[in-house]
Amino acid sequence: MKNILAITFAFLALSCQGKAETATAENNNDELEKGELKQMDNSKLETAIFAGGCFWCTEAFFTELKGVDKVISGYIGGITKNPTYREVCSGTTGHAEAIKITYNPDEIAYEDLLEIFFATHDPTTLNRQGADVGTQYRSEIFYTTPEQKTAAENFVKLLEDQKIFDKKIVTKVTEAPTFYPAEDYHQDYFALNPDQPYCRAVIEPKMAKLKKNYKSKLKE
């Protein structure tokens, strides 16, 4: 795989969704005004949904990004309502392990999220990420707006045109159906279980690479 960073600036230049300048507000001690300001800021938040293997991994990576307000692990794209982890792992529900990202587009663009998505998993392996095998580990982007659909399709095309990956990208771009949050013990899994064997063997090395290559995009 070539360095995905090499094509990012070219893509952002072509995109109609450039990152806006972050608005600043005058400091005020009045609690009511602070509440109104917070409500205004929350109204700017948007949602992105990605499936890229084990959600313990993807949640950990996106939680670190500036402009990301919240990341929830869950299930999407299947035929069963309110599926459980056991049901999804059986491969019979059709769901993918996914994350729902709430972010401020004034601080981080959707294209930046796409960049991290493709940089932190292998989009060329069908229904598999490393040793994790099954349709629940598929690579899929679930768009929530027409603009996200266009951005995702253009990003995939640019990656393929630039031959960033040695093999064909199998990532699907799909309109988001209902997202079901996973069980509580899956939320913030890496942060709460850093010494768990899977976390140490799989997530920790990838996290180190993320912090090295994308330091400017991470929270302090």
> Can you read off the two tokens belonging to residue 84?
């459980």
β-sheet bridge partners, residue 47: 102
| Distance of alpha carbon 171 from alpha carbon 124, whole angstroms | 7
> Can you read off the two tokens belonging to residue 200?
């140490």
Tokens 């994308």 sit on residue: 214
Neighbours of 120 (CB within 10 A): 22
- Examine the residue annotation and report whether 57 is marked as an active-site residue of this protein: no
Catalytic residue, chosen from 54, 57, 89, 199, is: 54
Contact 166, 70 (CB under 8 A): no
Distances (CA, A) of 161 to 122, 128, 151: 17, 23, 15
Catalytic positions, please?
54
